[in-house]
Amino acid sequence: MTDFRLVPDGDLEPDPSGRHTWQVTGARPRLRVTGTPKPVGWFRLRARYRADDTHPGEPLGPQLRLAGLAGPVSSVSRSLALRRDRIDRILYLPDDAEELFVDLPITARAFDLDDFSLAPIGQTAAAARMAAAVASTARLGSHATGSLFSRGWESARAEGVGGLRAQLVADYEAVQRRGAGLVAIPYREWLELHGVRTAADDAAIDAEIAAMVDPPVISVVVPVYDTPPELLAACIDSVRTQRYPHWQLCLANDASPAEHIRQQLDDAAAADERIVVVHRRENGHIAAASNSALELATGEFVALLDHDDELPDIALYLVARDLLAHPDTDLAYTDEDKIGEHGRRYDPHFKPAYNPELLLGQNYFSHLTTMRRTLVAEVGGFREGFEGSQDYDLFLRVVGRSGPDRIRHIPHVAYHWRAIEGSTAKETGAKGYAEDAALKALREHVPADWSVGPASAPTSYRCDPPLPDPLPLVSVIIPTRNGWDLLAQCMDGLARSTYDNIEVIVVDNGSDDPAALAGMAGMAAEGRATIVRHDAPFNYSEINNIGVEHSSGELLCLLNNDIEVIETGWLEAMVRHAVRCDVGAVGAKLLYGDGTIQHAGVILGLGGVAGHGHRRFPGDGYGYFSRLGLTHQAGAVTAACMVLRREVFDEVGGLDAESFGVAFNDVDLCLRIGEAGYRIIWEPQALLYHHESVSRGAEDTPEKQARFSAEVHAMLDRWGDALLRDPAYNPNLALDADAFTLAREPRVVPPWRARPTPADRD
């Protein structure tokens, strides 16, 4: 049996005090699971964990992370629950995972993680252990195990023990996928469905290329330094075999010591007149070498390719056809995936449309990015001193000189990023000096106090825009009915919040509980809140609109009575964005009481109309390519905690009380705000609990279900196909399964198979 072990892999060193094994020395402490062959299948993981100096508001235990997962999640976390100081979990480890890490909470200054074992366990034994866990969890009413009691269980029971075991394993695996962000359809299967072309497809591509009028020449810029010969050959060949013929390959040898480089580049240039080479006399590092390659470029556009990566043979065709369709484009970027050391494709990154906040948090443009050559020259090309983030620096300067309507996303995989030891594709923390360069570039782009992002978002960055002085008055609107304990808890959180210019408007929707009535009367007498009585059937939109009518703040904060404050600076974090003239509404990061995600932005079209992304992910997890730790534009945000300017609320007519009295009113509001030209922002620094629907209850009566059905149809009638085109959500990702999993039927049509629709390009 393989002996799997934990070895330190970053920001750890032996604890000099001798009290613990390890001391945390940086922001990303972690251990790597080693052993050959790699763990695949069902396993029981056990360990003992003890730590000093953990903060009460932080996770007490480590996180399991699968790196290089063959799905759209680059790094996914799930909590390793502790019972006292013991970890004992049943895990399903897919063969898609390249590596397995255990991330440690940075709040632990020193810790032990010993008695570690990762033992294979058969399905029967796994099912037996999980059955006990499921039964225990079910008694607690956990949402995470809801699918375990689906209609499939009735037929499974009829098949006896074997059927029950199979159903349990299948459903538990589905629960794991939801909890850890694993994809519902593996990428390799998705590629078989959507990544294989026929001879007829290729003929259609060639015919479209032949019919192009004034096709642009794309100069592919490649700095080269000591590339292994087989990887360099693969890189060059991937350009030479492009179906689109109007390209130039510009190769700059940065004085490589390896003897094969000069000959290999010269041979390539001799074989194809579209390949040009320069051999630098002195090594100048990647920015200088990239500029040397750029000086060779003559095309209207330049595309960036690393010397050990590859382009699929339709990459430049996809870019060229989009540039021709949108001639004002200054910068276009595509989706990408990775190639492992054995040539297997995995970890696709299906990106959103241009998302300025997300770009400030991470270089999500990455590969393949193509820019107008004259604009690249205008901003000064690559800059020495920004090595490691030289591309990011260039993208920021090009974006700063361009405009949002001239930046294009092409929702197709057009780049294969090779994952080898030491590359940022293999591990985002491999080049620490890149962070310093990125921060330097960001401070020039947006003068502010920039810092490295949270541990839950590796290789990310953050700044807090300044608050207005004086602080604008924020009117906090809280609908309520009875439930005094919830309202008191919400008000206590407001009292602890550090934003000191608020008024509270509590709209009482017919409370008849003496404790609630007495409590609200006391708040009014103390001047803590204005109480507005509204005795009418429950209509969330109407209640909030009435609250706004009784308020006087420049900013509005719609807040449910079942919200509990975690971070006391939550309102400052939201106000910083809400006061910006291009922002229409700001949403918060809301957690269930168990610390998992309740709200991290609404995805339009998810589940038919709209749904919450990353629901039930760990509250401090990575999410989809670190999205859970990054400020970004969203399709919509929930009104359970939303901040917006009064002028925006009035401009769009407030919440629609006639069509959306209970459900989808916030989504409809956000869509109307977007239609008016404003952007919706989700802010993870605004962290609160949302004890969802505790006061209102479930949709469990025929009347409620009929009302909900009517609101669904009202959304579909009003917004139609707009619900399928969330700019923050890639059309290759699912709407009929868990968010950020791969769509079995993408909403983007391969251009060679059908005429493109509006969903083809976001």
Q: Please, what is the end-to-end C-alpha distance for the chain in angstroms? A: 50
Q: Strands 41-51, 30-34: parallel, antiparallel or unpaired by DSSP?
A: unpaired
CATH superfamily for 5-121 is Galactose-binding domain-like (2.60.120.260)
CATH number for the segment(s) 474-691+701-724:
3.90.550.60
**Percentage above 70 pLDDT, the chain:** 81
Mean pLDDT score across all residues of the chain: 84
Question: How high is the pLDDT of residue 70?
Answer: 38
Q: Taking the C-alpha atoms of 8, 625, 425 and 94 in order, what is their torsion angle to the nearest 10 degrees?
A: 70
pLDDT of 149 over the 50 cut:
no
Least confident piece of the model among 298-307, 319-328, 704-713: 704-713
Question: How high is the pLDDT of residue 653?
Answer: 98
More confident residue, 262 or 185: 262
Q: Mean pLDDT, to the nearest integer, of 108-114?
A: 78
More confident residue, 267 or 159: 267
pLDDT of 760 over the 80 cut:
no
pLDDT of 173 over the 50 cut:
no
Residue type, 732: N
Q: Mean pLDDT, to the nearest integer, of 514-533?
A: 97
What's the rounded Cα separation, in Å, for the pair 708 and 659?
11
Least confident piece of the model among 260-269, 381-390, 729-738: 729-738
Confidence of residue 700 (pLDDT cuts 50, 70, 90): low
Question: How high is the pLDDT of residue 65?
Answer: 63
pLDDT of 562 over the 70 cut:
yes
Q: How far is CA 644 from CA 472, 474, 475, 551, 680, in A?
A: 12, 9, 10, 13, 10
CB 699 within 8 A of CB 648: no
Question: How high is the pLDDT of residue 703?
Answer: 80
Is 467 strand, coil or helix? coil
CB 550 within 8 A of CB 478: no
Question: How high is the pLDDT of residue 139?
Answer: 33
Question: How high is the pLDDT of residue 130?
Answer: 57
Question: How high is the pLDDT of residue 248?
Answer: 98
Beta carbons within 10 angstroms of residue 438's beta carbon? 24
More confident residue, 402 or 87: 402
What is the pTM for the complete model shown? 0.78
What's the rounded Cα separation, in Å, for the pair 622 and 78?
9
CATH superfamily for 212-462 is Spore Coat Polysaccharide Biosynthesis Protein SpsA; Chain A (3.90.550.10)
Most confident of 21-25, 56-60, 308-312, 698-702: 308-312
Confidence of residue 88 (pLDDT cuts 50, 70, 90): confident
pLDDT of 441 over the 70 cut:
yes
Q: Mean pLDDT, to the nearest integer, of 527-539?
A: 96
Report pLDDT digits (tens) over 563-613: 999 999 999 999 999 999 999 999 999 999 988 899 999 999 988 889 999
Helices 702-719 & 665-675 angle (0-180, nearest 10): 10
CB 585 within 8 A of CB 644: yes
Confidence of residue 153 (pLDDT cuts 50, 70, 90): very low
Do domains 5-121 and 474-691+701-724 share one topology? The answer is no
Domain residue ranges of the chain, discontinuous segments joined by +: 5-121, 212-462, 474-691+701-724
Question: How high is the pLDDT of residue 457?
Answer: 77
